[in-house]
Structure 1
Amino acid sequence: MASSVAFSHDFAFDPAYGYDAPDALLGIPAPPAPDGFDAFWQDRRARARAVDTRPVLGPVEEERDGVRIHGVTYTSVGGVRLGGWLALPAEGPVRYGFVVGHGYGGRDQPGRDLPAPLPGAAVILPCVRGMG
């Protein structure tokens, strides 16, 4: 099948993998799970749920867009301390909560594009291990 990529790029490969329509790509079934897949993730979940995260909220680092941004640290599996940021409403109670992940490049600041999904929302931006 010939690819008609709908965007320009400088990649040395075809990012559409030869597919020319979303329906064709969506028609590819998922591969079978590797042996032990369910047990591995069930164990990871159980280990994570058993962690006493001991969160520590730091002082306000910045206030903008109706939120106060704090640094936060917490314990992960194996006793590893990780960090991130927590944005809390500058006024009023927290009524909603969101977790905003990051891509493979990691995160070294909350970013200028901090989402404000809803008034009254708390947003945690955790830094995952192995990402700097």
Structure 2
Amino acid sequence: MMMRTATSVVAGLALLWATAALGQDSGAGKRTFSSGYRFVEMTGEELFANVCQGCHMPDATGASGAGSYPSLAGNKNLEAGSYPVFLVINGRRGMPAFGDMMTDGQIAAVVNYLRTHFSNNYEDAVTTKDVQDARR
């Protein structure tokens, strides 16, 4: 009986979380969903909303609990565009590598989105050439 109750509680919490996540507007007007190994989202906003915010939160302030997810809001580590490009391609610690799942254009788009939103005001844009060079 205790196991059934615990399972019901976990299932109920998962349903509540999923319902809240679907109803939450992160600023991305249209939701797209990837199928397979590659992401289909193309804009930095879509990529952040569908790939990054699950760990880094919709406002990019990060989280801690089951893991530690750093804040990307007002983050000085984003100043040099090559650093977030490297992290997105290769991953680090708990962050998975997304280099095989995103094109050069997608990586540039999400990095540029992060560097110009969430109290980050870095004006020099990362290019697809920068991403290509980082892959070598």
TM-score for both structures, normalised by structure 1:
0.29
Please identify the structure whose Cα radius of gyration is greater: 1
The structure with the greater share of residues assigned to strand is 1
More helix by share: 2
Task: Give the structure-2-normalised TM-score.
Answer: 0.28
